[in-house]
Amino acid sequence: MENNFGKLLGYEVSDCEIKVSFEKREAYFTVVRDEIVRVYVPFFDENVKSKAIENDPCVDADFTVEQDGAAIVISTEKVVVKIYDDFVVDFYNAEGKLLMADYRGERTTKEKVSWMSLEMLEAEGHDISGYLEKPCRYQLVKKLDEGDDFYGLGDKSGFLNKKHYEYENWNSDLPQAHNEDFKALYKSIPFLMCLKKDAEAYGVFFDNTFRSNINLGKENTEYFFYSTEEGNLDYYFMTGESLVDVVGSYTYLTGTTPLPQLFTLGYQQSRWGYESADDINFVVDNYRASNIPLDVIHLDIDYMDNFKVFTWNEKNYGKPGELFDRIKGLGVKPVCIIDPGTKVEKGYSIDDEGVANDYFAKDKDGEVYVNAVWPGDSHFPDFGKEEVRNWWANNHKVLTDLGVGGIWNDMNEPASFHGELPADVVFHDEDRVTNHAEIHNVYGHNMCRATFQGLKDQTGKRPFVITRACYAGSQKYTTVWTGDNQSLWHHLQMVIPQLCNLGMSGFAFCGTDIGGFGADCTPELLCRWIQAAMFSPLFRNHAAKGTKDQEPWRFSKEVVDINRKYIELRYKFLPYIYDLFYKGETTGLPVMRPLVLHYPNDPEVRNLNSEFLAGENILVAPVLEQGVTKRMVYLPDGTWYDYWTGEKFEGKQYILKDAPIDVCPMYIKAGSIIPTYEVVQYVGEKAYNKVELLVTPGEGSYEHFQDNGEDYAYKNGIYNLYQFTTDANGNLTTEMKHQGYSVYEEVSVVKLGF
Ligand code: MIG
């Protein structure tokens, strides 16, 4: 094995940082807090600042450092790190259990070393060409233990448990149907969680924006590895009692999903192919006529003049104010798409300004870089510069002045029609000059930051931004959808694992295109999709140009009734979902959760792809297969009540539930108190001045949040926090933990299962 760090020489401590010296290099270990330790080696550039972690996360945690035989040992209350010669590093929990160990053997591919910096090998005069198939700056190879299961990684396709698969972090817009063998999708969230055999949990966040690979025992079941073509070695090890703690640590570092506006949790309709104001009005009118609630309609690229961002196609869409005023009069908020590609056109003010001010990326020879997207030849804003983000933010004024409800950012991988942007296209990271290879995975992130800022400054409301591409930490600025899925049953099956992993990766606010984007949706698929998506935070039906009409009211009465039933149920549970967001702003926990998050000791749920929990209290087991009308449901530990019949079941067993096309099996945990609202056609149609609590047997306790649902007043105390408790008979006691907003006129109880 190559020795490229050499022997351990010693260490120096300053504040929360421990500099560990080896013969040939130094490595830095930072105790961020009791459960989090950062490992850092600036192979690439010391001036690179994290995009995911914006503030210094270090608290003054207590720790000790000592030399213990061959190792330097760093101990906090929760983590023990042992560092050996050659930069071999092992992480233990406080009980002395080895959680993540460096792999001692050799990788079985061409790469012959278990830890390597090519730069160093090169500097030492080695010929590195034979080592790697692809250029690789460094790799981290960790021991894979029997029973290790992996979760997280954001939007990656496939199943909940990522073990035995390999992934790539390179934001990618791929038109084919996303299959389980896809390595990359639109987002790069290099956050991995491991649940060990005995349910100890840890997480690792690899904070590097360059292209990287994560191989979780696919190459060899003895180890897993992370490798990257460039960048600093910069990763965070985090642990805790459970996966819940690990999610907490990760979102402590990168930020939690902020509380959204209430209407953004309502039902939304979109289609690429609404070609005129008439089309939009027709859709809105049909929703109202069919009594299916609707809060948002999305305007895809056709609303723009020749796909020029921040313009309006007056020919087909009339006066912008007129359309907005009409649909807003019906209670529907318009959301407009904005792509990054800016049409190259003299006299188009956005492009002129961008060129004049040096706001666009340039090629290596200093010419403004051009590639084609929807508007034809286009320029690409250099969002890494603050000046550019401010400019972009201000450009949104033309839409916020009209009362736009939110902004949908697409094509920001960035996607381009004439091949991918070359690696050497020049971009900035603030003042630092860099290139596409480094900026690619944070292009969407930086764009969303700008969009968020624009909406926040111009409206004073909590911004509603939706993006396709992003990086770790983008959850602070934007919601996400999973891009171009298709109307396929296996894509319906992917909804749960994909959204649960996004949720555990910080993105509490996520969704898929309901009904599927590409291909034609069948009536049955749409019914099952709306059921599976009922608790998906972003609740939007969207379809591609040229596909079969997909609004529920285009189908038979049965399909309309089933869609209305579940969309109404969504509006009923709106306060519960909103509470999950309110709590998640502190805990980092998502709305849609895999069972493994709360039942890590139950081996039955480690690979459970077909059920999820909404919060902790509602278990949803939708039918995900064509033609199936009976569903095997696994209930975890505890007592559960069938939402539809009130029937009681003890957990830790499989049950068989009849699930005809209009039934989505749902179970409520014993001791639940679930706030519900009256069904409305849109948020704001009526004041929510009463709340009805759905209560199941068993003593319960629940905190409920209420505010204006729109702005930041709650940060200044303008909200109510109710503490509800129930006794075994379902008798309710209410205590006001905080009162700063008008209180409900009525709080009532509906009992289930008594
Ligand atoms: O190249 O704006 O994922 O949701 O409707 C296609 C048109 C561009 C891709 C997005 C999709 C959107 C479509 N866009």
Q: Which amino acid is at 227?
A: S
Mean pLDDT of 606-617: 98
Nearest Cα to 49, choosing from 422, 436, 438, 425?
438
Strands (E), 3-76: 8-14, 17-22, 26-33, 36-41, 64-68, 71-75
Q: Would you call the peptide bond into 665 cis, given omega within 30 degrees of 0 as the criterion? A: no
Q: How many angstroms does the Cα of residue 458 sit away from the middle of ligand 1?
A: 26
Calpha distance 476→473 (Å, rounded): 6
The answer to whether residue 324 scores a pLDDT higher than 70 is yes
Q: Which residues pair with 406 in a beta bridge?
A: 335
341 lines ligand 1 (CB under 6 A): no
Q: What is the pLDDT of residue 116?
A: 45
Tokens (6 digits) for 130: 């034979």
468 lines ligand 1 (CB under 6 A): yes
Sole residue written with tokens 């089933």: 562
Q: How many angstroms does the Cα of residue 410 sit away from the middle of ligand 1?
A: 7
Q: What is the pLDDT of residue 96?
A: 95
Q: Which one of 272, 308, 378, 550 would you pick to mutate in the ligand 1 pocket, going by the greatest count of ligand atoms within 8 A of its CB?
A: 272
User: Is 513 annotated in the active site?
Assistant: no
300 lines ligand 1 (CB under 6 A): yes
What atom of ligand 1 comes closest to residue 374's alpha carbon? Answer: 1
Nearest Cα to 105, choosing from 137, 147, 143?
143
Q: What is the pLDDT of residue 121?
A: 59
Tokens (6 digits) for 659: 């699930």
Tokens (6 digits) for 376: 């034809």
Dump the DSSP string for 58-72. ------EEEEETTEE
Q: How many angstroms does the Cα of residue 123 sit away from the middle of ligand 1?
A: 46
Q: What is the pLDDT of residue 355?
A: 98
DSSP-based three-state secondary structure for 529: helix
484 lines ligand 1 (CB under 6 A): yes
Nearest CA to ligand 1 atom 8: 411
410 lines ligand 1 (CB under 6 A): yes
Q: What is the pLDDT of residue 630?
A: 98
Q: How many angstroms does the Cα of residue 385 sit away from the middle of ligand 1?
A: 26
Calpha distance 337→557 (Å, rounded): 32
148 lines ligand 1 (CB under 6 A): no
Q: What is the pLDDT of residue 124?
A: 63
Tell me which of 53-67, 112-126, 359-373, 641-655 is least confident: 112-126
180: CB partners within 8 A, 6+ apart: 157, 158, 159, 165
Calpha distance 457→463 (Å, rounded): 9
Q: What is the pLDDT of residue 113?
A: 41
Q: Which one of 484, 486, 512, 541 would you pick to mutate in the ligand 1 pocket, going by the greatest count of ligand atoms within 8 A of its CB?
A: 484
User: Is 241 annotated in the active site?
Assistant: no
What atom of ligand 1 comes closest to residue 545's alpha carbon? Answer: 5
Calpha distance 464→471 (Å, rounded): 18
Per-residue pLDDT of 112-148, as tens digits, reads 443 445 555 566 666 666 555 555 678 999 999 999 9
What atom of ligand 1 comes closest to residue 544's alpha carbon? Answer: 5
Per-residue pLDDT of 684-728, as tens digits, reads 999 999 999 999 999 999 999 999 999 999 999 999 999 999 999
699: CB partners within 8 A, 6+ apart: 671, 725, 726, 727, 728
Per-residue pLDDT of 346-394, as tens digits, reads 999 999 999 999 999 999 999 999 999 999 999 999 999 999 999 999 9
Catalytic residue among 234, 413, 429, 585: 413
406 CB-side CA count, 13 A: 29
> What share of the chain in percent tops pLDDT 70?
96
Calpha distance 597→102 (Å, rounded): 26
516 lines ligand 1 (CB under 6 A): no
Q: What is the pLDDT of residue 123?
A: 65
> What share of the chain in percent tops pLDDT 90?
94
Catalytic residue among 155, 351, 410, 585: 410
Per-residue pLDDT of 726-737, as tens digits, reads 999 999 999 999
User: Is 410 annotated in the active site?
Assistant: yes
429 lines ligand 1 (CB under 6 A): no
Nearest Cα to 409, choosing from 443, 382, 365?
443
Nearest CA to ligand 1 atom 5: 272
What atom of ligand 1 comes closest to residue 339's alpha carbon? Answer: 2
What atom of ligand 1 comes closest to residue 410's alpha carbon? Answer: 10
DSSP-based three-state secondary structure for 655: strand
Per-residue pLDDT of 446-486, as tens digits, reads 999 999 999 999 999 999 999 999 999 999 999 999 999 99
What atom of ligand 1 comes closest to residue 468's alpha carbon? Answer: 3
Judge whether 47 and 384 are in contact, CB under 8 Å.
Answer: no
Q: What is the pLDDT of residue 108?
A: 82
Q: Which one of 300, 313, 479 would you pick to mutate in the ligand 1 pocket, going by the greatest count of ligand atoms within 8 A of its CB?
A: 300
Q: What is the pLDDT of residue 147?
A: 97
Per-residue pLDDT of 148-194, as tens digits, reads 999 999 999 999 999 999 999 999 999 899 999 999 999 999 999 99
Per-residue pLDDT of 88-121, as tens digits, reads 999 999 999 999 999 999 888 754 443 445 555 5
Question: Predicted confidence band at 1 (pLDDT cuts at 50, 70, 90)?
Answer: very low
Judge whether 207 and 50 are in contact, CB under 8 Å.
Answer: yes
* Structural domains of the chain, ranges and CATH numbers in brackets: 8-103+128-254 (2.60.40.1760), 263-481 (3.20.20.80), 675-751 (2.60.40.1180)
483 lines ligand 1 (CB under 6 A): yes
Q: What is the pLDDT of residue 138?
A: 86
Convert 609-631 to b/e letters by CB count within 10 Å (16 or more is b).
bbbbbbbebbbbbbbbeeeeeeb
Sole residue written with tokens 């972009």: 392
Nearest CA to ligand 1 atom 1: 411
Catalytic residue among 229, 351, 484, 692: 484
Q: What is the pLDDT of residue 137?
A: 79
Q: How many angstroms does the Cα of residue 510 sit away from the middle of ligand 1?
A: 17
301 lines ligand 1 (CB under 6 A): yes
Q: Which one of 176, 313, 410 would you pick to mutate in the ligand 1 pocket, going by the greatest count of ligand atoms within 8 A of its CB?
A: 410
173 lines ligand 1 (CB under 6 A): no
